Amino acid sequence: MEESSELQSEENKVSNEKNKKRKLKTPAQLTALEKFYDEHKYPTEEMKVELAEELGLTEKQISGWFCHRRLKDKRLMKDEAVANGRQDRSSGVIQDRGSGLGQDSCGSSKHADYRYLDAKEVESHGFYNNEISVADMTQRRRNHYLENVSGVDDTSSESSSFLQERAFAQGQDPYDMDPSRHLTPNGALPPLNPKGAVNLGYKPSGYLKLKGEIEHAAITAVKKQLGRHYEEDGPLLGIEFDPPPPGAFECQTEDPANEPFCVANAPVLNSPEISAAKKPNLSSRYDSHYTKFNSQDLHMEGADFGSLHESDFQDKQDKKARQNIKQRQPYHGYNTHVSGRNPFPDLYEDSTGEASGYNSAKNHRMSTKHGVEGMRSDSASNHSDHFEEKLAIKPKDLMLHGYDKINPKRIQKSGHVKSKPSSSIRNSRVPMDTEERGLSARMAKEEMFKLDQKAKNTYRDVDGRLSNEILVAKRAKVDMLQQYHVKPSPVAEMEQRKIHRSAAEMPSSFSEDETAETSSSLDY
DNA sequence: TTGTGTTTTATTGCCTCC
DNA sequence: GGAGGCAATAAAACACAA
């Protein structure tokens, strides 16, 4: 009705829109992009094409978006690093600046870039289990910084990403993460990241080759931070593990075959819940919009996606949503944290927690601009508590809860340690420290390629039920979408996925590793 | 409502790697 | 030389305060 006429008029506008110099990505697109970005900082061309098709964008746009996204991260990280460096450098926790490779000592921006980007790669791949988006990391970094500002010790309150972050925060300028000083070329040891195996869609080239190195750089930095507290073969940080949540290693999906979103969209699916949990920081302008959509406008989403290509309707929706955002802006608090840790509809759709799930751009700003007041160190526990409250409501999401309710202070114990990184890191560290120079970059690449192929073949199925189901599910999804003339939208998928996923995929944070572990074990 | 600052998008040029 | 990436830049879109 309204929609159809609107859509028609939009088609007219579409052509006009095309003439516009720039067109904002729709929330759906941004969501998908961010999600994808969480998984793949450097998507392959195929990924880009696929993503472009799904989002109704051009590959060029995708590439450009990723490029700018990386720049954005970089910029943010740089700012944070500078700020933190200023803050903490005086503390002298780590003074590893002797090489003179500081950002001002090297005219080559590329060097700094490598260090920098690699640091990010560390986030997404090196510490995969805690795969925390840069956006989220940025957020957390802010919080972290704010915590530092507030003078509260953030001891062990961060995940591994945080550890790295911490390295930066406590005086180690990310730009000083010079691999040559910390590590070995062998860092490229591929399968470090089982998920990386899945994510290996990208071919490490150029600075990506240094990824592994930087991973180790980060590890080294963390080690330095931890000092004697670091135990190579024991639980990280000498902290006891939390018992895994019930069914943590079980597929929560009763019928995996009917769980299209377990497999339908690997790139997105690849995103661990934690990475998914970064949503709040994604496209800050739309955060709340997403929430609203998720909770109320799902049907509109469908229409939205139907006209995903060059749709003004979306723009209208966006504007509406933005207006809604404005109207709802007054709400803020720990939402950044909460929704940041769980972007799923479980929260959004929680009638009691719409506000919780709601995370507006303004909130984001609040957390950044006024974070000192609003995001004190206790916010960590607060947000997790808050989170637990919500989580407790839904037993089905035990997995999610079991994982996400992790108190930031526990992240090391459960989230990080429990999962693969610990072993992976350790494993990786073995060659790093002992045979670190034994594996050539080429070998690493080959290994990565193998894993990539493997991952592509298996398409990240959790317990061995592989591509058939995946394909079937994907086909079914596509068919259904076609049936309704709705273009497959990553976000639409997300919506559904969220529904199924809270229980089924949360374990994927574990199972991802498991999966990858399985595949990697199969590989080797 | 308007001015200002910020963010996002698009473009271009350069660099590195294959 | 082509591909992919980053940096710089411009401009549109947006947020926010006065």
* Angstrom distance (rounded) from CA A33 to CA A479: 23
Question: Are the CB atoms for A139 and A372 separated by under 8 Å?
Answer: no
Residue A127 is assigned to a structural domain of this protein: no
**Which pair of tokens denotes residue A439?**
């594996």
* Angstrom distance (rounded) from CA A146 to CA A371: 6
Residue A246 is assigned to a structural domain of this protein: no
Question: Closest residue by Cα to the C1' atom of nucleotide C14?
Answer: A285
Measured CA to C1', what is the nucleotide nearest A66?
Answer: C5
Distance A21 CA to C11 C1' (A): 8
**Which pair of tokens denotes residue A458?**
């298996």
> pLDDT at position A447, please?
42
* Angstrom distance (rounded) from CA A126 to CA A187: 10
Residue A113 is assigned to a structural domain of this protein: no
Residue A66 is assigned to a structural domain of this protein: yes
pTM of the predicted model, to two decimals?
A: 0.38
What are the φ/ψ torsions at residue A418 (nearest 5 degrees)?
-60, -40
Residue A424 is assigned to a structural domain of this protein: no
Residue A276 is assigned to a structural domain of this protein: no
> pLDDT at position A381, please?
35
Please check whether strand B approaches the CB of A68 to within 7 Å: yes
Q: Hey, how many other C-beta atoms are within 10 angstroms of the C-beta on A140?
A: 29
* Angstrom distance (rounded) from CA A517 to CA A194: 6
Distance A312 CA to B3 C1' (A): 28
Report the CATH number that the domain containing residue A42 is assigned in CATH. 1.10.10.60
Rounded to the nearest angstrom, the gap between the alpha carbon of residue A169 and the centroid of all alpha carbons in its chain is 20
* Angstrom distance (rounded) from CA A117 to CA A154: 25
Please check whether strand B approaches the CB of A442 to within 7 Å: no
Please check whether strand C approaches the CB of A370 to within 7 Å: no
Distance A105 CA to B2 C1' (A): 45
CB-side neighbour CA atoms (13 Å) of A106? 17
Which amino acid, one-letter code, is at A216?
H
Distance A494 CA to B17 C1' (A): 36
> pLDDT at position A12, please?
38
> pLDDT at position A144, please?
37
Residue that has been written with the tokens 């980007």 in this structure: A117
* Angstrom distance (rounded) from CA A311 to CA A522: 45
Q: Which nucleotides of B are covered by protein (CB under 7 A)?
A: 7-11, 15-18
Angle at CA A484, nearest 5°, toward A23 and A288? 45
Distance A322 CA to C14 C1' (A): 10
* Angstrom distance (rounded) from CA A358 to CA A294: 10
Q: How far is CA A323 from CA A311, A320, A365, in A?
A: 19, 5, 17
> pLDDT at position A84, please?
64
Measured CA to C1', what is the nucleotide nearest A71?
Answer: C6
Measured CA to C1', what is the nucleotide nearest A60?
Answer: B10
Annotate A67-78 with b (16+ C-beta within 10 A) or e (fewer). eebbeebbebbb
* Angstrom distance (rounded) from CA A373 to CA A368: 10
> pLDDT at position A307, please?
37
Q: From residues 312-341 of A, which are strand C contacts by CB within 7 A? A: 315, 318-319, 322, 325-326, 329
> pLDDT at position A65, please?
87
Please check whether strand B approaches the CB of A502 to within 7 Å: no
Domain count, chain A: 1
Helix, strand or coil, per DSSP, at residue A323: helix
Residue A31's domain spans which residues?
A: 27-80
> pLDDT at position A227, please?
52
Residue A471 is assigned to a structural domain of this protein: no
Distance A114 CA to C7 C1' (A): 14
Per-residue pLDDT of chain A (524 residues; tens, 9 = 90+): 333 333 333 333 333 334 456 778 888 888 888 888 877 788 888 888 888 888 888 888 888 888 888 887 777 777 666 666 655 444 433 333 333 333 333 223 333 333 333 333 333 333 333 333 433 443 333 333 333 333 333 333 333 333 333 333 333 333 333 333 333 333 333 333 333 333 333 333 333 333 343 444 444 555 555 554 444 444 444 444 454 455 544 434 333 333 333 333 333 333 333 333 333 333 334 343 333 334 333 333 333 333 333 344 444 444 444 444 333 333 333 333 333 333 333 333 333 333 333 333 333 333 333 333 333 333 333 333 333 333 333 333 323 333 333 333 333 333 333 333 333 333 333 333 333 333 344 444 444 444 444 433 433 333 333 333 333 334 433 333 343 333 333 333 333 333 333 333 333 333 333 333 333 333 33
> pLDDT at position A245, please?
54
Residue that has been written with the tokens 């069914």 in this structure: A247
Q: Which nucleotides of C are covered by protein (CB under 7 A)?
A: 3-8, 11-16
Distance A206 CA to B17 C1' (A): 6
CB-side neighbour CA atoms (13 Å) of A388? 10
Task: Report, in angstroms and rounded to the nearest whole number, the Rg of chain A calculated over CA atoms.
Answer: 22
Residue A68 is assigned to a structural domain of this protein: yes
Q: How far is CA A351 from CA A328, A388, A493, in A?
A: 16, 16, 22
Please check whether strand B approaches the CB of A61 to within 7 Å: yes
Distance A86 CA to B16 C1' (A): 33
